[in-house]
Every structure is written in C-alpha cells, then in structure tokens.
Chain A
C-alpha cells in the first residue's frame, strides 16, 4: 500500500506563533492532497483540497489566511496554522490520492496533534 507521512506527530506552541505541518507521500506522486481537522469524539472535517502547483480550495468557513496550504511538489503539502490560538488546538490529518482517472482510495497520514497554550 501507499505510505503518507505526516510530521510532526505532536506539537505544542504558544498562542500567537505559527506552526507548520508537513504531509509527504513517500512512494507515490499525489496530485491531490486533503487536509482534515478532527475534534475529540467527532468525525473528520474537510478543511481544504490541495492541488500540486495551484492554490488550495478551502471549504466554507475555513479561513484561508489562517490555514495556509502549500503543495509545491507532487510529494509534499504543508499546512501552516498562523497566529495560533487555543481554539486551533486539534488533530490535523492529511490524506493523499494517487491521481487516477477516477476517485480511488485515500491514503492517510498518522495525524498531527496541535496544542496551543
């Protein structure tokens, strides 16, 4: 199966700082990556769709200036939480698709737990 690596797995930061989370597809090229946010005991909430070489598509209600997404290569997408506040504390998960002609299996990273103090 395909492997998606996410880093860091845990991060604690002070309020007002920015945090960058990386998502890498290790053994395949991912033309499309997705970023999800998950609160405790809740489902995954799609934040944005990241396409290589173009701007991310954000879901309604997700602030694009708050959650900066960059997909500079076919194997790397980054999510930067800018000026983080305690309410941004959450579990962030990325996923990647192999870019087939039709939708196929999503491969997920292990998630990054962000705690903002």
Chain B
C-alpha cells in the first residue's frame, strides 16, 4: 500500500494562537486536496478541500493554501482551541483516478 512518512511530527500551539500545518504532496498530477482531522480512535473528519485551480480557500476558522509550484499545502487554523487537538492529514487525489493518498500527518497539541 501507499503511505507517505512513518512517524507523526507534533506541533504545539498556545490556545488562542494561530496554527499552521504543512503538507508536501508527491504528485504534480494531483488536482484535488483535502484536509482531515482525526481524533484518537476515530475515523478522519473532513475539514476543508481545494482544487488545483485555486490557491486559497477559506472556511470557518480554517484556511487552506495551495502552492502547486513547490507541491505544498498548508492548513491554517485561527484562534486555536483545545478541541482542535488531533492529528491532521492532507490527502491528494490524482487526476483521473478515485485514489487518495494520505500524507504523514501532524499531531496538533493545544496548550492551555
């Protein structure tokens, strides 16, 4: 099976601060990207998505930025809250397929 990376890096953020989680994707042919949040023992939850014809997309408290030149995706969370503590994964979809590949993941810890 395909997977990117083995061990989860951790980002610690003070409550109320903004968080930025980064993801490098692998295939320049990928044209659809999703950020997921996964809490311990649960399945991933959709946060926000973006297609390759966009550079930025905003949701409620979250913003996704896409840089196709360097194949980089980021998730910005404004005013981070304790409930945001989880593991965050980016997923890329390769154009013409229904196959999604997940990134390494980042554990976000929100400090009170």
Contact = CB atoms under 8 A, between A and B. Distances in A.
Interface of A: 1, 4, 6, 32, 34, 36-37, 41-47, 49, 59-62, 91, 93, 95, 97, 102-111, 113
Interface in B75-112: 89, 91, 93, 97-105
Given A43-B3, A44-B89, A111 B43 contact: yes
Contacts of A47: 1
Contact of A42 (B7, B97, B98): B7
Interface stretch (B12-20, B44-52, B56-64): B44-52
B6 interface: yes
Given A93-B43, A105-B34, A43 B93 contact: no
B30 to A, nearest CB: 10
Interface residues of B, number: 30
B91 to A, nearest CB: 7
Contacts of B3: 42-46
Interface of B is mostly: loop
A45 B2 contact: yes
Contacts of B91: 106
Interface string B22-44: 00000000001010100001111
B4 interface: yes
A42 B8 contact: yes
Contacts of A32: 98
A110 B91 CA distance: 18
Contact of B98 (A41, A49, A109, A110): A49
